[in-house]
Structure 1
Amino acid sequence: MIDELDLAFDEHAEKGKPRHRRGARGGKKGSGKSGIAFVMAFVLLAALGGGAFFGYNKVKDFFTAADYDGAGGDPVQVNIEKNATLTDIGNALVEVDVVKSTKAFVNAADENPKGKNIQSGTYNMKKQMSAENAVTLLLDPKTRVTRGVTLREGLTMMQTFDLLAKGTKIPYDDFVEAAKDPEALGVPDFWFNRRDGKQAKKTVEGFLFPDTYEFDPKLDAKGVLEVMVAKFLGTVEELGFVDTVQKNLSVSPFEALIVASLAQAESGADPDTPKIARVAYNRTYKQKPAMPLQFDVTANYWLQLKGSAAKHSGQLSKTELNDPKNPYNSVSQAGLTPGPIDNPGRKALEAAMKPATGPWLFFVAVDKKGNSAFAVTDAQHEANINKACANGIDLNCKD
């Protein structure tokens, strides 16, 4: 193309004369040809410039994220998972045609000062929104259909149902009914096997993993409990709980789950939880014959099962502690309870899976921070009780 341009300019040059020797003489005669050459040059440059402009647009379009315009059209609900990244959120939006591309959404979220504050949950959105509008809508609390339901470690199933009913607006009795068949909720039947000769109580207690949940508003009580059971199963699989307790402790997973629930209820400080688990194992499996656990929390669980409120340990009567009608009685009945007494969290599961090493048979809370003291003999235990009483711990202490 450059050669043709040179020829266009050189066309009027006289033969035998160098191209750079252009004088005024003879200029008029060659002015027509010069004008044509100029026009041709202009057209060529314009064509080159147009091609460059066209190419720039093509490149720009390649690097610019595809996006919709406007506030969107048809309504649609989108579920944002817990701990989702902006890319995860963008993918979820693209899947239901809220935004045109994940890149456009991520860019818009990055440009918004609050773009990284999008919470998990279910949102009322619109199809084919601009990415900027989608980000704005996700940051609007009014758009969020569900609120997180937080279930702390150690709640009983009754307490869990109460919080779920308040958080989801599903009647409490629906959860009670759905919980009657734990296997229908996804609990594998092997979980209800025991190696200690006792009958396992088939209950959902222990399998409702404590966490903060964002439930799909379309779920019924059964669906909500299925989500929680699935979370439990995923957690114990991640921990290797089932294989570890069977191989290293020679107990069934259900027995270890009971120990986890007991340790969860009795522990007032995380470092003590593996030691309390060890006390439960020592009393149940190391002592011959097995010793009663003598855990106050089992009396409280029976009270809650009957519809009464739990009490502080120091306020439980001797009758309540040693109720012969209580199948969870751990004062006069040796061995583990028929089933878990609450829903333990990850740390309690780990404690039951890998209990501390020690010969302890007793423990008692010795200060108002919840720390416990552990003992092997009755005399040591009595000394710890006296220490607890001196620290103002309510244990029905004698004056």
Structure 2
Amino acid sequence: MTIEELDLAFEETGEKGRHRRRRRSGKKRGRGRSVMALFMALVLLGALGGGVWYGFDRIRGFFVAPDYTTAGSGQVTIEVKNADTATDIGNTLVKADVVKSAGAFIKAAQGNPLSKNIQPGFYQLRHQMRAADALTALLDLKNKIVSKVTIPEGATYKEVYAALSKATKIPVAEFEKAGKDPIGLGVPEWWFNRTDKKPANKTIEGFLFPKTYEFPPGTTAESALKTIVEQFNTEMADLDFVNVVQTQRRISPYEALIAASIAQAEALKDEDMGPVVRVLYNRAYTGKFPCSCLGLDSTVNYWLKITGKGGKASEHLSKSELHNPKNPYNTHDVGGMPVGPIGNPGVAALKGAMNPPQTDYYYFVSIDTKGTMAYAKDYAGHKANIRKACDNGIPLC
């Protein structure tokens, strides 16, 4: 209602009086009513202005999110989970008093296209940081709290335990304890079945897939080994390893895994993994090689390593060590694949075990310091290759 409308209302009320002498006094009253109308209009305008200011303040609060103005102080650990959005991360940071509001973090994230690269994990940040600084810190992997360890191809389980212990500060004894139950760690029990009817050595060896792993705070020996075994299972599924070796090689996946581990130990170059495996298969399964024995020093050395005796170069192995009947990895006198893997093979060796080239080679030997491999069909050819190795400085003669 306008001031004029208020005035008119008061005047209409005044006309209801019928005596003229009262109408004369209406001028004073009219001035009073005008003052009252003005007063009420000002009250209404004030209320309206207050409402506008309140609404503006609310809108401003929505677009201008509270933010800290310092680089922060102290230390605090926060976790970014898988599939966390900028809002989720912002709420986590507010709860830990890293940023003042989720809105400030969201605004910083919207202004930085790299924000989509924030990785899940644990981070060490500071209390009461500017949102933009908190975002920068989350994008810097130096602030990510992880125990990183690389398992090299061919490493034995004992070497893996030592590397894990060094990275996580978990005692080796705890890995030894957890590793005694490979099935409990996620290795399917059927992996230990064999087509050659030989007993399987149900250990964790062979199932610790070579890769670089990152373990967050709170990791235990058991959870670390489960993570690694889970990676092994994933890799096997991606390679279709089980199906291929059963249908095309006609052997158990466990025997093929053993062959891959031996190739990993014997061959230096990826290109030799398959050819070496073919020699192993020819010796073990064709019935054309004496006692179907692999006759390998690497398997003997493996037993010496895991029993604390230390590995030796082939020229330093004694006859008693090579033919020790108590060594379950003796492949000089016992035919077929040994009782278990002698290390943890990588993808190249696994592929070699799946699809080795079709050859009639029964011998292989490294003939130079670069790891160049030579193959032979018979012992005469093998002896010729050994002479080449000796000429190249390999101590075999």
Length-normalised TM-score, structure 2: 0.74
Query: Offset of 1:75 from its aligned partner?
Result: 3.7
- Distance across 2 between alignment mates of 1:376 and 1:235: 34
Assess if the C-alpha contact under 8 Å between 1:76 and 1:127 holds in 2: no
Change (3 A) 1:236 1:128: farther
Query: Offset of 1:185 from its aligned partner?
Result: 0.2
Determine whether 1:168 maps to 2:172. Answer: no
Assess if the C-alpha contact under 8 Å between 1:186 and 1:229 holds in 2: yes
- Distance across 1 between alignment mates of 2:301 and 2:88: 45
Structure showing greater radius of gyration is: 2
Assess if the C-alpha contact under 8 Å between 1:97 and 1:128 holds in 2: no
User: How many pairs are equivalent?
Assistant: 329
Determine whether 1:108 maps to 2:109. Answer: no
Q: Match of 1:161, SS?
A: helix
Matches of residues 323-362 of structure 1 in structure 2 within 5 Å? Answer: 323-362=324-363
Change (3 A) 1:104 1:303: same
Determine whether 1:266 maps to 2:266. Answer: yes
Q: Match of 2:147, SS?
A: coil
Q: Match of 1:255, SS?
A: helix
Matches of residues 65-84 of structure 1 in structure 2 within 5 Å? Answer: 69=68, 75-78=76-79
Q: Match of 2:365, SS?
A: strand
- Distance across 2 between alignment mates of 1:340 and 1:193: 13
Name the residue aligned to 1:311. Answer: 312
Query: Offset of 1:331 from its aligned partner?
Result: 1.1
Assess if the C-alpha contact under 8 Å between 1:78 and 1:92 holds in 2: no
Name the residue aligned to 2:192. Answer: 192
Name the residue aligned to 1:227. Answer: 227
Name the residue aligned to 2:250. Answer: 250
CA deviation map 1:238-267 (0-9, x unaligned): 111111111111111111111110111111
- Distance across 2 between alignment mates of 1:68 and 1:147: 33
Determine whether 1:144 maps to 2:144. Answer: yes
Query: Offset of 1:341 from its aligned partner?
Result: 0.6
Name the residue aligned to 2:380. Answer: 379
Gaps (5+ residues) in structure 1? 1-53, 82-86
CA deviation map 1:90-132 (0-9, x unaligned): 6884584578467843743649xxx97x888632246896552
* Equivalent position amino acid for 2:123 in 1: Y
Assess if the C-alpha contact under 8 Å between 1:364 and 1:385 holds in 2: yes
- Distance across 2 between alignment mates of 1:92 and 1:146: 21
- Distance across 2 between alignment mates of 1:295 and 1:89: 55
* Equivalent position amino acid for 1:301 in 2: Y
CA deviation map 1:300-333 (0-9, x unaligned): 1101121122222233222222222110011111
Gaps (5+ residues) in structure 2? 1-55
* Equivalent position amino acid for 2:224 in 1: V
CA deviation map 1:19-63 (0-9, x unaligned): xxxxxxxxxxxxxxxxxxxxxxxxxxxxxxxxxxx9xx99x96xx
Change (3 A) 1:275 1:133: same
C-alpha RMSD of the superposition: 3.3
* Equivalent position amino acid for 1:320 in 2: E
Length-normalised TM-score, structure 1: 0.73
- Distance across 2 between alignment mates of 1:361 and 1:150: 34
Assess if the C-alpha contact under 8 Å between 2:278 and 2:359 holds in 1: yes
Change (3 A) 1:265 1:144: same
- Distance across 2 between alignment mates of 1:296 and 1:91: 59
- Distance across 2 between alignment mates of 1:263 and 1:286: 18
Between 1:361-370 and 1:319-328, the stretch displaced more is 319-328
* Equivalent position amino acid for 2:354 in 1: M
Query: Offset of 1:354 from its aligned partner?
Result: 1.2
Query: Offset of 1:137 from its aligned partner?
Result: 2.3
The structure carrying a bigger helix percent of its residues is: 2
Assess if the C-alpha contact under 8 Å between 2:303 and 2:327 holds in 1: yes
Assess if the C-alpha contact under 8 Å between 1:121 and 1:214 holds in 2: no
- Distance across 2 between alignment mates of 1:296 and 1:211: 26
Assess if the C-alpha contact under 8 Å between 1:121 and 1:215 holds in 2: no
Name the residue aligned to 2:10. Answer: none
